[in-house]
Structure 1
Amino acid sequence: MATTVTAKGQVTIPKEVRDLMGIGPGSKVEFRRSTEGNILLVRADKKRPKSRFARLRGHAGKGLSTDAILALTRGEA
């Protein structure tokens, strides 16, 4: 992924990277130099982004009861 540096030295972090790292508005990041000389982008708050499974976790709210769902699947309703 490539991005362009502005005249002020700013870059836009690609959405795919922001999503992967859990970076949003107000997030703090650090730039670190690796032993190989590469520059790494690291979250400064040390928080780990939610896994893709954790982001999907939740509930559907109030709805059909278990008995009503079973009746639907059996064709009784």
Structure 2
Amino acid sequence: MVSSDLKQSVQNYIDTADNRLLKMIKALVESYHEEDQIVAYTVDGKPLTRKQYNQELVDAETEIQRGELTSVEDLEKESQNW
């Protein structure tokens, strides 16, 4: 089905939908847009979606649990090269 046919088919459903179906469609569309919404940026300026941001948090917590930490001294040495 081509895009224009698909849009028309969905439009037909919307035109004849009851309130319950309209609420379901609205929730689906809002959920779809939330996944793509930019919620943060990396220090390099790369945009992150909510899913990517949450994965960054999980990765950081895993590194902490494995003891992969940077001491203050090492951070100060590293920052001299910035």
Scaled by the length of structure 1, the TM-score of the pair is 0.27
Structure with the bigger RCO (C-alpha within 8 Å, sep 6+) is: 1
Task: Give the structure with the higher percent helix.
Answer: 2
Scaled by the length of structure 2, the TM-score of the pair is 0.26
